[in-house]
Amino acid sequence: MSNGPAGGVLVVLEQHDGELHRLSAEALAAGRMLAAKVGGRVECALLRAPGQAVALTGVPGRVHAVEHPLLAAYTSDGYTAALEQLIRTLTPSHVVLPHTYQVRDYAPALATRFRQVLLSDVTAIHDTETGPVFVRQLLQGKLNADYRATGAGPCFVSVQAGSFLAEDAATDAAEVVAFAPVLEAAQIRTRAGERFREAAHTVDLGSAAVIVSVGRGIGEEANIPLVQELADALGAELAASRPICDSGWVPMERQVGSSGQTVAPKLYLAVGISGAIQHLVGMKGSKCVIAINKDEHAPIFEVADFGVVGDLFEMVPELTKAVRAAR
Amino acid sequence: MRVAMLHCGGATAIGFLGRAGDACLLGTLILAEPEHFSGTEITLLLLAMLASAGLFLQRLWPILQTIHHAQPEQDFHLRPLGRRTAAFVWEVLLQGKVIRQRPLPGLAHAFVFWGFLAFALVSLNHVATGLRLGFLPPQSWAGRFYFDFAAVWALLVAVSIVGLFVRRFFVRPIWLGEHLSYESGVIAGLIFLLMVSYLGAFAVAPGGSAVKLLWWSHTAALLVFLPLIPHTKHLHLVLSPLTVFLKRDSFAQIPRLHGDEDFGLVAGKDVTQLIALQTYSCVECGRCTEHCPAATTGKVLNPKEVVLGLRSYLNTVGPASEVPLLAEARPDTAYAPTLSMEAVFGCTTCGSCEFQCPVGIQHVPVIVGLRRGAVNTGTWEDDYGTKLFLALEKHGNALGLSAAERDKFVTKQGFPIFDGTQEYCLWLGCMGGYDPKGREIIADFARVMHFLGTSFGVLKKERCTGDPARRLGNDLLFGTLADSGLKSLEAAKVQKIVAICPHCVRTIAEDWREYGIAPQIEHHSEFMARHRDRLPQQQGQSIVYHDPCYLGRYREQYDAPRQVVQQAGALVEAPRHRERSFCCGAGGGLAFLGEEHGERVSHVRAQELVATGADVVGTACPFCNTMFRDALHETERQPQLLDIAQLTARALPSQPPGGEP
Amino acid sequence: MKIVVAVKQVPERDAAIRVGADGRWIEEEDLSYTINEPDAYALEEALQLKEKHGGEVVVVGAGPERVTSTLREALAKGADRAIHVEAVDLGERDTLGVAQVLADAIAAEAPDLVLTGLQSDDLGLGQTGVVMAELLGLPHATIIMQVEVTASGLRVKQELEDGWFQHVEMPLPALLTMQSGGNKLRYATLMGIKKAKAKELKTETAAAAAASPSARLERVYLPQRQKHTEMLTGSPAEVAAKLVQILKNDVRVL
C-alpha cells in the first residue's frame, strides 16, 4: 500500500472497459488548476478489477489503482467503500471528479461518508485570497453562483463537461500504484445488468441528437434529397414542418411541432422554416438552433443561436460539402 | 267540375281538389258527418279512445318520470320571460328557424305544424260527434267557415307530407340517418289518411255509409296516431314547444357545477332535467349533424347520435344511475358507441348543432358536460391534452412558452403597460402574445388604435383566459385561470378591454362570470366598425370574410366585421356564411389536440373560401388565421390571408399622426 | 407497498430572475413556486406503482409554509398523506443538512421505497436523493426511467450516457432518483383537489441544524452571456466554413 502525502488534489478517473472516459482528462485539468491554487500534488485514482488493463495515455504522475474483484463492474456501494478507504489513506485536501452519470450516482454518498457535500457540476474555479471559489450554474443556467467549501474534511468537486480544457497528452508514463481496499460481496446491494440501447423502433425524433428539419422554403418535393444529404452528412434525423408532411414530401411521423413530435436535440438545423408557432413549440427545447432562411424577418431567427439569411439552394449543398470534408 | 261546385255535398274529391281555394272562400262546401251513432258504436269508440290514451300514457308517463327524476336544474330561472316568449313565437309558432335554415322541407314542416294547430278544434269536434256531443255543426255559419278553413290546411298538410315522404324515402338525405325510418313512413301515412279522410267527408253525400266509413277511418287514424307520438320521435310534438321555451339562457352556455360531487356529466345521475327533456325532444332531423364540422369530415362525433345515445341511456339505465355515460368508461359498450370520449373530444364547440336545432336541444353544454365528466375525474388520458393542461398549469399559456417571451414582444413593440391612465386594456391572448402571426395582428391593431388616437396599455402579466381548458372540460384549470385573470384586471383597474381573439372575448365576457365580474370587453372588429368613418376606404381587392364561430354564433357579431371588411375592399360571401359559417377546426381546444382523423376541417373550409375567387381571405380570429395558414398551402390557389386588423392597417400612413412610438 | 416521495418546491421555470439585495439569492417577492419537475415524475411513478401494487404514497417536503401548496397539489394528484417539514433556514443548510431533515421524517415512516427527482430545477446539485440513501442506509440507484417490482425487490431501468441504459436490481427497502420523462405526468383534476381537502397534511418542525455547513453559497449573479442570435454573413462557402467550426467547437456534433 502506497501512501501519498496529506493534502493535495486527488483526481478520480473514470474508465469503462479499459478506456478512460473522455471527461477524465477534463477532471484532471481541473485538478491541476486547483492544485496550482491550493498547493500540493495532483494524483489520480482509478478503480478496476485486479489485472484489468486500462489505457492511461495522457495521464501523468501517480495513479492509485484501486483494485478488487468486486470493482470489475461499477456499483455505487463498491465504489463508495473503496474510494472512502483510499481517501482516508491519502487524506487529500480536494477530490476532483468528472461530472458523469456514474459520479452522480456515488459521489454524493462518498462525500456523506466524510460528512461533506459534493460541489457538483462546477464550471469554473476562481482563486481568491481566502481560497478557491467554485462556480456553478443555478436555475437551468439562468444564474451563476459562487460556492466556497467551508467543511473540515476533504472538499469534493465534480466538474462540468467542456468547462476545463483537457491538456495535451503528457509524455511521461503514469506511475501506477496499487491500492487494495477491503470489500465484501455482502456490502454490494445492487446488481447491474448489461448495457443496452433502445431498439430503433419507428422514428424517434425525441431522442435524436441532431435533427435537420425542412420547411416550406424547400419549394417542391424534388428538392428534399438536397436536405436529406445534409442530414446524412451530419448523421442527423430528417424532420419537417407540418406543411411539408401534409404534402407527403416527408413522412408524417417526422413532423415536428404541436401536432407532431416534440424534440430536444443538441442541434436543430432549420432549413427553409419560417417558424410558425406550431413548429416552434415542438423544437424550443433544442440546445442549439441554426436557421437558414431567405427572409431575414422569419420568426425562426428569434429562437436561433446562429442564423444564415440566404438561399438554401446555395447554402445547403455548400454546407453538406464542408461537413463531409470535416468528418 | 262545374257540377261539383253546384252540388257541393256530392262533389268528387277530384273536383274539390281542383277548386279548393275558391270553394272554401265561397263557403259552398259542407263537411258530411254521420248523423247517428249506435250504443255499440259509442262503446266501441270509448274503448278505442281508452286504449289509445292508455297506450299514449303507457309510454309518455315513464318518459315524464325519467325527466322528473333527473337531477333538478340548478341556477334555472324562467325570467326573463320576454326572451323565452320571443323564442317560442319565432321558433315554434312561426317555425322561423326551421324555414330559414332548410327552406323547402322547413316550409313543408311548417304547413304540417300549422295544419295540426288548425286541426285541433276539428279533431275535438270529430271525436265529440261520435259521443253525440258534437259542438260545431257543419251547417252552422261557424262550422262552415271553420271546416272550410281547416280543409285548406288539410290540403296543404297532405301535399307537404307527401313531399316530406318523398324526401325521406326517395331523395334520402344522409342527415336523416343511414337507415330508413319506417315509423316515419307509418306516421306520414297516418297523417295523409287523416287529411284524406277529412277532405273526403266534403265529397260524400250526407247520411250514406261512406260518411260513416270516412268518419271511422279518420277516427282510427287519429287513435292510432296518438299512441305513436310518445313511442316515436314524434314525441317532439308534445315536448319541443316546452323545450324551446325552457332553453338555457345563452348560447352554448356551460352551466355552473354544484357541490363537491358534481364533476360534469359522469353518469346518469348527473343528467339534469333540462338535458333529459331535450334528449326526448330530439326529432332526429339531423340538422346538427349536417352542419357539424366533425361529422362532415369523417370524425366519430355525430351530435345527433350523442343526443340519441343519451336518450337510449336514460331509457335503458335510467337517470339516477352511477353507470358512466361514456363508452370508454363503461365495462361494456352495449349502449351507444357514439356516446364516447373519442366522439365528444372531437367537437370544435363551433355551436352549429345547437344553433340549427329546431327543437331547442343545446348540444354544446352536453358535449362539454361529458368532457367535464371525463377531465374533472381524470378519466380522459390524451398526450396532447395533458401537455396542454400542464402548459396552462405551469406557464399560463396554451403554447407552453415562457412568459418572458411575451415580455420580450411587449418591450420590442413598445406597448405601454396599462396603468389606469389609458382608455383600453389591449388583451394580447396566447396568439397575440406568443404566435408570430398573432403578434403581427396585434401590432397592426395597435397601429389602428394609434391612428385613431385611442390610448391603450397591456397587462404586465397576462395568462390564458382558460378558453381551451373550459371547452375541454377542465374546471379546476379554468377556474384558476379565470380567477387570476380577474384579479390582475382588477389590480390594474381596467375598465375596458379590447381583444383580437373571439375566444378570449367570449370567455372573459361570459364564462368568467362564474368567478366574478370582468370589465367590459369587445372584439377588435366591433371597435374598428365603430370608428370606420375615420378609417381609410380602400378599393380594388375582393375579400371573402370567414365568420369565426365565437364571434358569429357565440356573439352574434356578423355586421361589425363585415363593415370593417367593406372599408378595406369588396366583400365577398362564402357559400356558408354568417350563422351558417363553417368552423376552421381550431375551437374547443382542438387546435392543441394533434392531428385530426379523416379530412381536416380547415381544408374543407379553406377550399370553400378559395373557390369564391376572392383575392384575400379575411379573418377575425387568430386561430382561424393560423388554421387557414396551413390549409391554404394545400389549395389550388393561395389568396392572401389577412386579419381584419391587417386589412385596415395596411392603408394607414406608415407613421402614426401625433408621433407616438 | 409504502412509498415516500420527497418533493421540493422550486421557482417556476420561466420566472424572471432578479438577484436579491444581499446578492446571495434571488428576489423572491414576485416569484411563483411549483413542484420540481423530476420530483413530479417521481410522484407519478409512485402513484403508478400504487395503482399497480396497492399501498400508500406519502409525500414529504421541507421548507417554509408555502411548501404546503405543493404538497396539496401532490395530494390532489393522488398521494395519500403529506408531511411538511417546516424549516425557514434551508438556504443556510447544505445538501447534507437538508437531506438529514428529510431523512429524519422518512425514517419515521419506515417505507419500502423512497423516490425523489434526480436533481432540482433551482440548485441543481443532484445529490439530495443519494445522500438520503446514505443517511437511511438504503441501496439506491439514480437517473431511473422505469421501476418494476420483482419477487426479490426492484428491477429498474437506469439511464446511462450517450443513449445507453441498463437494468439494475436491488432489494427493498431502497431509494431511487427519478429522471424526467420516463412516465407521462397527469394533470390536476377537480375531483383530485376536492378529495385532497380530506387528506392528512402533517407539519413537523425540522431539527436545528446540527453542524456548520461544509459548503456555502457566497454570491449569485447573472451570467454574462445572454442568448442572442449570431447572424453569419459571407459567401455560401464562407458561411459553410463558419458553420462547420460552430458544429465542431460550440455544438460539438462533429
Residue C56 buriedness (CB in 10 A; 0-12 / 13-18 / 19+): middle
- Grid coordinates representing B46 are 270509448
> What average pLDDT does this structure show over C35-64?
96
Domain with CATH 3.40.50.1220 in chain A: 205-326
Q: At what angle do helices B209-231 and B236-246 cross, to 10 degrees?
A: 50
Which residues of chain B make contact with C186, given a CB cutoff of 8 A?
Answer: 378, 386
Cβ–Cβ < 8 Å for B443, B413: yes
> How far apart are the CA of B431 and the nearest CA of chain A, in angstroms?
9
DSSP 3-state of B163: helix
From B48, B50, B60, B53, select the one nearest B232 (Cα to Cα). B60
CATH classification at residue C15: 3.40.50.620
- Whether residue C167 lies inside any domain: the answer is yes
| C-alpha–C-alpha distance, residues C155 and C140, integer Å | 12
B263 touches chain C (CB under 8 A): yes
From B298, B308, B376, select the one nearest B342 (Cα to Cα). B298
DSSP 3-state of B409: helix
- Grid coordinates representing A270 are 432549420
- Whether residue C249 lies inside any domain: the answer is no
Which residues of chain B make contact with C184, given a CB cutoff of 8 A?
Answer: 383, 386
- Whether residue C160 lies inside any domain: the answer is yes
> What is the rounded radius of gyration, in angstroms, for the C-alpha atoms of chain B?
29
Sign of the alpha-carbon dihedral angle for A11, A16, A17, A18: negative
Q: pLDDT at position B245, please?
A: 96
- Distance between start and end Cα atoms, chain A: 46
Apex B272 CA angle, B64 and B289, nearest 5: 90
Mutate to test the interface with C, among B254, B376, B463, B480 (most CBs of C within 10 A): B376
| C-alpha–C-alpha distance, residues A48 and A73, integer Å | 8
- Grid coordinates representing C19 are 438577484
Domain at A205-326: CATH code: 3.40.50.1220
Task: Please tell me the least confidently modeled range out of B509-513, C42-46, C122-126, C207-211.
Answer: C207-211
Residue C140 structural domain: 2-205
Q: Work out the pLDDT band at C227, boundaries 50, 70, 90.
A: low
Residue B433 buriedness (CB in 10 A; 0-12 / 13-18 / 19+): buried
| C-alpha–C-alpha distance, residues A189 and A220, integer Å | 59
| C-alpha–C-alpha distance, residues C148 and A73, integer Å | 22
| C-alpha–C-alpha distance, residues B198 and B123, integer Å | 10
- Whether residue C230 lies inside any domain: the answer is no
| C-alpha–C-alpha distance, residues A282 and A242, integer Å | 11
| C-alpha–C-alpha distance, residues C42 and C36, integer Å | 10
List the domains of chain B with CATH numbers.
Answer: 20-244 (no CATH), 282-381 (no CATH), 399-530 (3.40.50), 537-649 (3.40.50)
Phi and psi angles of residue C176, each rounded to the nearest 5 degrees, phi first: -125, 140
From B344, B349, B342, select the one nearest B364 (Cα to Cα). B349
Give the global pTM: 0.85
From B270, B182, B267, B294, select the one nearest B233 (Cα to Cα). B182
| C-alpha–C-alpha distance, residues B263 and B275, integer Å | 16
**Mean model confidence pLDDT for chain C:** 92
What residues of chain B score a pLDDT lower than 70? Answer: 1-28, 332-336, 655-661
Flag if C16 and B375 touch (Cβ within 8 Å): no
**Which DSSP letter does residue B88 get?**
I
- For chain C, what is the domain count? 1
Domain with CATH 3.40.50.620 in chain A: 9-187
β-sheet with B520-523: strand ranges across: B456-457, B424-427, B496-499, B520-523
Q: Which residues have C-beta within 8 Å of that of residue B191, sequence separation ≥ 6?
A: B112, B157, B158, B161, B225
| C-alpha–C-alpha distance, residues A318 and A316, integer Å | 5
From A6, A306, B241, select the one nearest C249 (Cα to Cα). A306
Q: pLDDT at position A260, please?
A: 76
| C-alpha–C-alpha distance, residues A170 and A24, integer Å | 14
Q: pLDDT at position B28, please?
A: 57
- Whether residue C197 lies inside any domain: the answer is yes
Q: pLDDT at position B476, please?
A: 95
- Grid coordinates representing B488 are 390582475
DSSP 3-state of C22: coil
> How far apart are the CA of C227 and the nearest CA of chain B, in angstroms?
13
| C-alpha–C-alpha distance, residues B243 and B92, integer Å | 10
Which residues of chain A make contact with C163, given a CB cutoff of 8 A?
Answer: 197-198, 207, 209
H or E segment to which residue A237 belongs? strand A237-240
Flag if B436 and A247 touch (Cβ within 8 Å): no
Q: Domain A9-187 falls in which CATH fold?
A: Rossmann fold (3.40.50)
Neighbours of chain A (3+ CB pairs under 8 A): B, C
DSSP 3-state of B255: coil
DSSP 3-state of B312: helix
Phi and psi angles of residue A235, each rounded to the nearest 5 degrees, phi first: 65, 35
Residue B613 buriedness (CB in 10 A; 0-12 / 13-18 / 19+): exposed
Amino acid at B207: G
Flag if B633 and A243 touch (Cβ within 8 Å): yes
- Whether residue C100 lies inside any domain: the answer is yes
| C-alpha–C-alpha distance, residues C34 and C32, integer Å | 7
H or E segment to which residue B640 belongs? strand B640-643
Phi and psi angles of residue B167, each rounded to the nearest 5 degrees, phi first: -60, -45
From C88, C43, C95, select the one nearest C66 (Cα to Cα). C88
| C-alpha–C-alpha distance, residues B449 and B437, integer Å | 19
From B217, B212, B273, select the one nearest B247 (Cα to Cα). B273
> How far apart are the CA of A55 and the nearest CA of chain B, in angstroms?
47
Question: In B, residues 359-378, which contact C (CB 8 Å cutoff)?
Answer: 375-378
Phi and psi angles of residue B510, each rounded to the nearest 5 degrees, phi first: -110, -55
Q: pLDDT at position B80, please?
A: 86
Q: At what angle do helices B182-200 and B209-231 cross, to 10 degrees?
A: 150
Who among B399, B434, B630 is closest to A242 (CB)?
B630
> How far apart are the CA of A200 and the nearest CA of chain B, in angstroms?
22
Sign of the alpha-carbon dihedral angle for B633, B638, B640, B641: negative
Flag if A193 and C169 touch (Cβ within 8 Å): yes
Which residues of chain A make contact with B400, given a CB cutoff of 8 A?
Answer: 281
| C-alpha–C-alpha distance, residues B201 and B147, integer Å | 10
Question: What is the complex's ipTM, to 2 decimals?
Answer: 0.89
Which residues of chain C make contact with A197, given a CB cutoff of 8 A?
Answer: 163-165
**Which DSSP letter does residue B588 get?**
T
Q: pLDDT at position B266, please?
A: 96
Flag if A242 and B629 touch (Cβ within 8 Å): no
List chain A pLDDT tens, one digit each, 327 residues. 334 446 899 999 999 988 888 789 889 999 999 999 888 899 999 999 998 988 887 788 899 999 999 999 999 999 999 999 999 999 999 999 999 999 999 999 999 999 999 999 998 999 888 889 999 988 877 789 999 999 888 999 999 877 787 766 555 678 899 999 999 999 999 999 998 877 654 567 877 889 999 998 898 888 999 999 999 999 999 999 987 887 788 888 888 987 778 788 889 999 999 887 778 878 887 889 999 998 888 888 888 999 999 999 999 999 999 999 988
